């Protein structure tokens, strides 16, 4: 059987090319371009601020933190997770015709995907910086540790995505189901509300939700400079690591089998 | 004695006529593969052999023409050789690289310019950015698209797209160049250029070519394989005789 001779530098070079291609292609037919990454979280946050202002959403407050920046940061971290979940699907969809007609190192699609996930997260983070400046939240050295839970959050989304990828490519239902599930998950994750009492069933769901620890830790670190969710982050990290490594292998092993079916 | 570049032994490939079933089989196969289980060699419901027990080898300097009606298995064979698909049975041994584009210009993004697409497509074919810099002018000259390199590929004529796609693939200089239906598009002058390029390529490697214009095949091919319903029914080194035989079969 053939063994494609691809060195690591070829892999990174190709990943980079695919990444640049995707970013360029995505924004070429748009006037506002990157603005579309900025607007949705702002509008989303504005809606929750309105609900809070009218007493629909309770927020007993973190010290010195307004609900607006609490909701905005939560939504931005959630978006980072969603990007990590969805970008692999989108990239595979654009590459479907190419994969069917040209052989190249398939893993470089995943490489490009990882770059795009990090790129998008960086843009979301820029928005957050403006938010922090606006609400005069001090950002100390300790706050920089937020990078760790954010990486866990991205890896979690990416890992889930890798495992769903074969199913997603074979059946269109998966895409619909995912859109539905993520909407649902938004409300089951303490993004726009604080972690509820773990004695209620709602609290239990939020507590066992794997997105909860890294998301809350990232937000705590950015807004307060410290967090009590490190153990949760560590556990989710271990699960995530297994997910990503096995998912990447699954992709490599099954890619050709899937390509010929779609 | 020229070098053997490709050995194909008893290669078979199943395809499925029914989409729903195909997806279900796909899921089962993925499961089997994940746990390292042997996949079933029998035909399941609605499956057929797109290729059955195909064997041949290809040496340096050989240009193999694949003859066969639509659905005979030509494209499936090319996909297997280039690595896009895996065979269900048999073995494909490649001594070197097999590159080609099974459908030309497929890697092009419609909204990116010709220039950008050359770089992306070149990278997909295994070139580093530096290597593409070095051959960029050759590609553009060969494709004759100098004026349009900063135009989105969307506004290219189909002939231009194919020319550019072929120019990139031809510059790769793989050990085995796969040429699928390039000669169907493009004007006479471009066809002539392609044929010359193929002849030149035979000095360093081998070529596998699929074309429905049989007269053109005669000029470059020095071997031919006639496929019918996935099986090799004839393998000849006399291309002229092969084409004659194929014509007879086609017209009953």
Nearest to residue B15, comparing CAs of B102, B80, B103? Answer: B80
Cα separation of A173 and A131, whole Å?
A: 37
Lowest mean pLDDT among A38-42, A244-248, B129-133, B187-191: B187-191
Contacts of A2 (CB under 8 A, 6+ apart): B83, B92, B93, B94, B98
Is 60 exceeded by the pLDDT of residue B98?
yes
DSSP state of A255: H
Q: What percent of chain B has pLDDT over 70?
A: 94
Distance from the first to the final alpha carbon of chain B: 39
Q: How far is A159 from chain B (nearest CA, A)?
A: 17
Cα separation of B48 and B42, whole Å?
A: 10
Q: pLDDT band at residue B33, thresholds of 50, 70 and 90?
A: confident
Is 70 exceeded by the pLDDT of residue A3?
no
| Contact state of A103 with B83 under an 8 Å Cβ cutoff | yes
A contacts of B25 (beta carbons < 8 Å): 261
Judge whether B198 and B169 are in contact, CB under 8 Å.
no
Nearest to residue B226, comparing CAs of B213, B239, B218? Answer: B239
Residues A71-93 pLDDT 10s: 999 999 999 999 999 999 999 98
Token digits of residue B214? 């049989």
pLDDT for A4 equals: 40
B88, closest residue in chain A (CA to CA)? A257
φ/ψ of A198, rounded to 5, equals -75, 0
Contacts of A171 (CB under 8 A, 6+ apart): B23
Give the three-state DSSP class for A140: coil
Cα-Cα-Cα-Cα torsion B45, A101, B99, B58, nearest 10 degrees, comes to 30
Residues facing residue B59 across a β-bridge? B4
Sheet holding B4-16, edge to edge: B47-59, B4-16, B89-94
Q: Which 62-121 residues of chain B touch chain A by CB within 8 A?
A: 79, 82-86, 91-94, 97-99, 101-103, 106-107, 109, 111-112, 116, 119-120
Pairing of the two strands B223-228 and B176-180: unpaired
Q: pLDDT band at residue B1, thresholds of 50, 70 and 90?
A: low
φ/ψ of A191, rounded to 5, equals -95, -50
| Contact state of B123 with A2 under an 8 Å Cβ cutoff | no
Unique residue bearing structure tokens 């407050």? A61
Pairing of the two strands B89-94 and B4-16: antiparallel
Cα separation of B80 and B169, whole Å?
A: 18
Give the three-state DSSP class for A214: helix
Best B13, B17, B30, B46 member to test A by mutation, with max A CBs in 10 Å, is B30
Token digits of residue A147? 């990078």
Unique residue bearing structure tokens 């000029």? B219
Q: pLDDT band at residue A212, thresholds of 50, 70 and 90?
A: very high
pLDDT for B225 equals: 94
Residue B23 is nearest to which of A102, A170, A254, comparing CB atoms? Answer: A170
pTM of the model: 0.88
Distance of CA B170 to the CA centre of its chain: 12
Taking the Cβ of residue A46 and every Cβ of chain B, the question of whether any pair is shorter than 8 Å is answered with no
Rg (CA), chain B: 19
Residue A102 is nearest to which of B22, B23, B101, comparing CB atoms? Answer: B101
Count, residues in chain B? 252
Give chain B's domain count.
1
Residue A17 is nearest to which of B102, B120, B152, comparing CB atoms? Answer: B120
Q: Who wins on pLDDT, A82 or B98?
A: A82
Judge whether B181 and B210 are in contact, CB under 8 Å.
yes
| Contact state of B99 with A170 under an 8 Å Cβ cutoff | no
Taking the Cβ of residue B34 and every Cβ of chain A, the question of whether any pair is shorter than 8 Å is answered with yes
Token digits of residue B172? 């790769």
Domain extent for B108: 4-250
pLDDT for B170 equals: 78
B11, closest residue in chain A (CA to CA)? A1
φ/ψ of B66, rounded to 5, equals -100, 120
Q: How far is A114 from chain B (nearest CA, A)?
A: 18
Cα separation of A176 and A215, whole Å?
A: 25
- Percentages (nearest 5) of helix, strand, coil residues in chain B: 40, 25, 30
Q: Transcribe B11-77 into DSSP letters.
A: EEEEEES-HHHHHHHHHHHHHHHHTTPPPP-S--TTEEEEEEEEEEEEETT-EEEEE--TTSSHHHH
Is 70 exceeded by the pLDDT of residue B103?
no
Judge whether B67 and B226 are in contact, CB under 8 Å.
yes
| Contact state of B102 with A256 under an 8 Å Cβ cutoff | no
How many beta-carbon pairs below 8 A join chains A and B? 106
Contacts of A50 (CB under 8 A, 6+ apart): none
Taking all residues of chain B, what is their mean pLDDT, rounded to a whole number?
Answer: 87
Return the H-helix or E-strand segment holding B98. strand B98-101
The ranges assigned to domains in chain A are 38-259
Identify how many contiguous H helices and E strands chain A contains and give both numbers: 9, 0
Is 60 exceeded by the pLDDT of residue A5?
no
Residues A116-154 pLDDT 10s: 999 999 999 999 999 999 988 888 888 899 999 999 999
Residues B105-157 pLDDT 10s: 667 888 889 999 999 888 888 888 888 999 999 999 998 999 999 999 999 98
Is 70 exceeded by the pLDDT of residue A2?
no
Taking the Cβ of residue A172 and every Cβ of chain B, the question of whether any pair is shorter than 8 Å is answered with no
């Amino acid at each position: 059987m053939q063994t494609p001779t691809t060195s690591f530098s070829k892999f990174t070079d190709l990943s980079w090319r695919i990444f640049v291609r995707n970013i360029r292609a995505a924004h070429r037919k748009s006037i506002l371009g990157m603005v579309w990454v900025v607007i949705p979280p702002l509008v989303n946050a504005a809606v929750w601020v309105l609900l809070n202002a009218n007493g629909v959403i309770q927020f007993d407050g973190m010290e010195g933190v307004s609900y607006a920046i609490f909701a905005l940061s939560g939504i931005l971290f959630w978006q980072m997770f969603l990007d990590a979940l969805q970008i692999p699907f989108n990239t595979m969809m654009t590459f479907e015709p190419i994969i069917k007609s040209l052989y190249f190192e398939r893993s470089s699609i995943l490489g490009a995907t990882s770059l795009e996930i990090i790129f998008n997260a960086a843009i979301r983070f820029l928005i957050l910086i403006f938010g922090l400046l606006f609400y005069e939240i001090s950002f100390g050295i300790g706050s920089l540790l937020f990078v760790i839970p954010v990486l866990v959050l991205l890896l979690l989304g990416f890992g889930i995505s890798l495992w769903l990828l074969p199913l997603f490519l074979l059946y269109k239902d998966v895409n619909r189901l995912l859109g539905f599930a993520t909407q649902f998950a938004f409300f089951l994750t303490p993004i726009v509300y604080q972690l509820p009492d773990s004695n209620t069933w709602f609290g239990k769901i939020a507590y066992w939700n794997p997105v909860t620890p890294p998301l809350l830790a990232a937000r705590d670190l950015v807004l307060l400079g410290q967090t009590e969710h490190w153990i949760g982050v560590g556990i989710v990290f271990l699960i995530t690591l297994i997910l990503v490594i096995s998912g990447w292998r699954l992709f490599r092993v099954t890619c050709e089998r899937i390509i010929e079916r779609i | 004695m020229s070098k053997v570049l490709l050995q194909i032994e008893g290669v078979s490939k199943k395809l499925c006529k029914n989409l729903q079933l195909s997806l279900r089989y796909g899921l089962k196969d993925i499961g089997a593969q994940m746990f390292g289980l042997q996949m079933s060699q029998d035909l399941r419901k609605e499956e057929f052999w797109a290729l059955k027990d195909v064997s041949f080898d290809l040496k340096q300097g050989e240009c193999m023409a694949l003859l066969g009606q639509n659905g005979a298995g030509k494209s499936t064979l090319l996909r297997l050789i280039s690595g896009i698909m895996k065979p269900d049975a048999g073995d494909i041994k490649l001594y070197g690289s097999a590159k080609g584009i099974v459908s030309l210009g497929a890697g092009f993004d419609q909204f990116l310019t010709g220039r950008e697409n050359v770089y992306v497509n070149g990278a997909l074919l295994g070139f580093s950015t530096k290597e593409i810099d070095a051959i960029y002018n050759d590609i553009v000259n060969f494709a004759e698209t100098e004026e349009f390199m900063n135009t989105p590929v969307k506004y290219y004529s189909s002939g231009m797209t194919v020319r550019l796609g072929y120019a990139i693939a031809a510059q790769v200089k793989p050990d085995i160049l796969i040429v699928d239906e390039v000669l169907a598009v493009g004007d006479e002058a471009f066809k002539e250029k392609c044929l010359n390029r193929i002849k030149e390529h035979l000095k360093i490697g081998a070529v596998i070519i699929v074309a429905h214009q049989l007269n053109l095949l005669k000029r470059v091919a020095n071997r031919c394989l006639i496929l019918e319903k996935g099986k090799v029914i004839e393998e000849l080194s006399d291309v002229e005789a092969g084409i004659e035989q194929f014509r007879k079969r086609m017209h009953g």
